[in-house]
Chain A
Amino acid sequence: MIFLKYDRRILQNFDWTLLALVMSICAIGVINIYSTGFSLGGNQSPLYLKQLQWMAMGLVFMLFTFLIDYRMINRFAYFIYAVSIASLIYVALFGHTANGAQRWISFGFILFQPSELMKVTIIIALARYFDDHKSHEPYLLRELFVPFIMVMIPCVLILKQPDLGTALIIIIVFASIVLFIGMNWKSVLIAATGILAMMPVAWIFLKDYQKDRLLTFISPESDPLGTGYHIIQSMIAIGSGGFLGKGFLKGSQTQLKYLPEQQTDFVFSVFAEEWGFAGGLVLVVMFLFLLIWGLRIALHSKDLLGTILAFGITSLIAWQMVINMGMVLGMMPVVGIPLPFISYGGSAMFTLLGAIGLLMNVSVRRFILQR
């Protein structure tokens, strides 16, 4: 319990900047969800309230991940990983199904999506692995076999749900971490060739609607499906916002419900329509600060473990943000990846705040680490 010992420096060096940034972005998210006015119907509370509830729970979780020294958490990395895998298996067997996907565990009054948790746990597990297997030389392909398997197990389970977006994000974050800590150039080439060769095989396993989406992106003229509709409506919404936006609660695309999935994947279109380029720019700059801040934490960490953790969490947020915005702006194919802290989604909010707690954890303890 030495790690829980109160240390005055924890408060002294607390990362207020990070907390303030994240809270501001979350606040924008809640206000925006309020504007979509979306409610699950029945006697359920409106969506923005639910998001606030999840935020509150996430903050408690954040406190938890912040207070326990991350080296302590690291000891339990594989255990946490195993629990996450178990919950994914549980979902595959008994999970709650909605919109044709079996992704949730039902706790009676709330639904939790373990694949969101997995996005963070995989980073913790990989950090542990690479911390245990330090190397002066860039990693060779065969040295990466074990972490590769560690990543593929949850990916396969998540793909089965089916949830292409989440599986994709996990693989991309894995690739980012591996490239970051250093991989032999030859190995990179071999892996890249291997992935290219696997593409046609992967194509077979894609669902029809996923194929349609990719095809829609590759040749937008053939653009006939719902996906084309999503993108066109999203672009109309964003574009019609103009420089200053139509004003809060005044976005016609949003309020008339032309915009699909407006509280989740296409939430940024709502924001851009109502707040215009000015608002969009503010949000992008806030994200920019957040990401640079996260990378700075990775840079200043006193040990490899902290560096990998901070880098992994930052890259998770960065990739999700870039892919989501790219999709909404019509620059990338439509894959179900939400915008961190802004999209509605309890499990994502909860785990992301936990991840931010971990980031602060690394940030603060660089002043404490003496050993």
Chain B
Amino acid sequence: MEKLYKLRNGPGPAEFRQKLKIVMMLVCLALLVLTVRLWHLQVIKGDELKQRSENNAVRFRKIQPLRGLVMDRNGRIIAENRPSFDVLYMPTKGVNPESLVQKIKDIYKTRSVDYASDQPFPKTVKSYLPVRLEKNVSMEKVALVETNAVDLPGVYVDVTPIRFYLDGEFIAPIIGYTGEVSREELTESEEYSSGDITGKSGIEKVYDAYIRGRRGNELIEVNARGKVIKNLGRIDPVAGSNVILTIDLALQKAAWEAFAGLSGAAVAMDPRDGSILAMVSLPSFDPNLFNSGIAYKEWVKLQKNPLNPLSNKAISGQYPPGSTYKLIVAAAALEEGIVKPETRIHCNGSFELGNRVYHCWNKHGHGSVNLHRALVQSCDVYFYTVGKMLGVDTIAKYARRFGLGDLTGIELAHERKGIVPTRDWKLARMKQPWQLGETISIAIGQGFNLTTPLQLAQAYGALANGGNLWRPHLVKRIESSDGTIEKEYLPEKTGDLALSRWTMDVISRGLWAVVNEPGGTGSRALISGADVCGKTGTSQVVGLSQDARIRRLRKLSAIYKDHALFACYAPMKSPEIVVAVIAENAGGGGAVAAPIARKILNAYFEGKHKGKAPQVAVNPLTDGHAAKGLTLE
């Protein structure tokens, strides 16, 4: 044997023998300790633990955190939390759930209130998970359930925080809504657990990670009736952070009211940094409907509404920009040297190309016009001529500089890019070559052109601020619930118009005249002393066809009516606000959209006059005891 061991070069066998013996002893010792512990648990404490397992009294309960508040730029609350009283049932031995529900219905009947839940009782219940019978019930029901507790074993009332939107409808497209976490979200991230409330759209969704807060947990011992008898330990939930928007609630409200029931969208933005002051989309919906689970019927109604109340038209509605696009064509023409400001073009009311005739909106013609007059009177023939000289690709080059055809990068989801057509685009998309006639339509913002109201606001804002594209944003900063600033969003430059100062001056003088000179198409946006610069637009839903039949149809039916557009900024010297308005199927831009824009601008300047609104106190729910989550003792 010794001979064999000599083969080893390493440590001697005796040493290993020694060590292995020690290891064997250690293993024996470790397993002995485990056995002793097993004996201790099973034999010494066995009876006690058996008792506990029989009425398994220990339950694990999640405590939902309070979602952070959403406030406007002046601290006015947009979204807060309110207590919701839910009727729950903890499965109990020897109780038939169906007869229990019947008993609740009978008790309700004595006071003639209805049992609201139409959900069938779940087929399988876990003995430790409560079943929610009714959500968000009235105080009357709470009183009924509590006073009849003896007859209703296992039934109890629990309080959970529920989202509440104070001015729901007119801010819903921005703020979004909340709902119970979906199956997909649960599999995607381990951050969520079933029953959690998460943001489903808008700001609530995009900033959910901040707003949500952190869940608390509680280990409790309950008696056979589901009543808590002992608290074994608890982690308090952490309230979510507050989101402060750039929105001015007063202006938002004014913008909503300015539409007076028309459908459409408006964006008001600070051209100096891209912060959105107001953004409305009409019609809208009441986000509070979603908070305690929207009824299927209501949901279908919202989804099937042809006016699309669930979408935010300011960012996902794509419209032909109409004459508001002339801003870009004018800039392109001046920069490329196609025309000088004094170059005159004669408009006799129509423009011929090949065997087709393109009409000016004014069929009597504008006579001989220069750029200034062409903008003021929105002369189509002038821009047909200039557009034909520029060509579609050159127009597209300038349109892109103004940020069209691309996402603005606002925080919200579902933003659309719009379309800036080019020759290549058409070839790729439709497998057809570009037609010159299409350039003519493009020159006045019709045809394939599509923009969102937000893009329009950004484009006019860029002209207003001297050539900078700022990323439009809705969130100013995020504060933790105790008020410390967690994150501050600074303006972010995303592009440059690269136009000469002179070009911009010429155009903005033109835009000023659109509103302020006699005969201007935008005169209904005139506010004395505010020096509003703007441009009207009327985008044809049916296209440029001269078909008389369609013209007749348009008069008859609302859906063939033109979209009214108006984009403007003020004051001319140092612009503080840019507004883009689109009213769907409402008629002409000057007649319909310009007055809406004027109301928004008016509200802005009036608000500025009055000074900042006082800071509103913080939601009472986030103070003191309640901030630690809502539980009913």
Contacts and interface: CB of A to CB of B under 8 A. Distances in A.
A304 B11 CA distance: 9
Interface string A359-371: 0000000000101
A226 B61 CA distance: 9
Given A136-B10, A292-B27, A325-B34, A258 B42 contact: no
Interface stretch (B1-9, B279-287, B379-387, B605-613): B1-9
Interface in A267-326: 272, 276-277, 280-281, 284, 287-288, 291-292, 295, 298-299, 302-304, 307, 311, 315, 318, 322, 325-326
A289 to B, nearest CB: 10
B217 A226 contact: yes
A239 interface: yes
Contacts of B128: 256, 258
Interface string B21-40: 00110011011011101110
B20 A303 contact: no
B234 interface: yes
A15 interface: no
B8 A221 contact: no
Contacts of B223: none
Contacts of A326: 34
Given A224-B233, A284-B31, A288-B28, A299 B20 contact: yes
Interface stretch (B44-52, B204-212, B589-597): B44-52
Given A99-B190, A100-B189, A222-B233, A295 B218 contact: no
Contacts of A291: 27, 31
B194 interface: no
A223 B219 contact: yes
Contact of A277 (B33, B42, B233): B42
A107 B16 CA distance: 43
A225 B235 contact: yes
A3 interface: no
A329 B41 contact: yes
B23 A180 contact: yes
Given A241-B42, A288-B27, A224 B217 contact: yes
Contact of A236 (B11, B31, B37, B53): B53
Contact of B34 (A233, A284, A371): A284
A329 B39 contact: no
Interface in A207-248: 221-226, 228-229, 232-233, 235-243
Given A277-B38, A284-B31, A318-B27, A258 B56 contact: yes
B127 A256 contact: yes
B482 interface: no
Contacts of B218: 224
B38 A281 contact: yes
A306 B235 CA distance: 51
B15 to A, nearest CB: 7
A5 B484 CA distance: 75
B297 interface: no
B54 interface: yes
Nearest to A287: B31
Interface string A338-371: 0000000000000000000000000000000101
B301 interface: no
A83 to B, nearest CB: 27
B232 interface: yes
Contacts of A277: 38-39, 42-43
Nearest to B30: A322
B434 to A, nearest CB: 44
B126 interface: yes
B220 to A, nearest CB: 10
A224 B128 CA distance: 18
A287 B38 CA distance: 15
Interface of B: 4, 7-11, 15-17, 19-20, 23-24, 27-28, 30-31, 33-35, 37-39, 41-43, 45-50, 52-54, 56, 58, 60, 126-128, 189-190, 217-219, 232-235
4 closest A-B pairs by beta carbon, nearest first, are: A239-B49, A100-B190, A240-B53, A224-B233
26 contacts: A134-B9, A181-B10, A181-B11, A223-B232, A224-B233, A225-B217, A228-B219, A228-B232, A228-B233, A229-B58, A238-B49, A239-B48, A240-B54, A241-B42, A242-B43, A277-B38, A277-B42, A280-B35, A281-B35, A284-B31, A292-B28, A299-B20, A307-B16, A322-B31, A369-B4, A371-B7
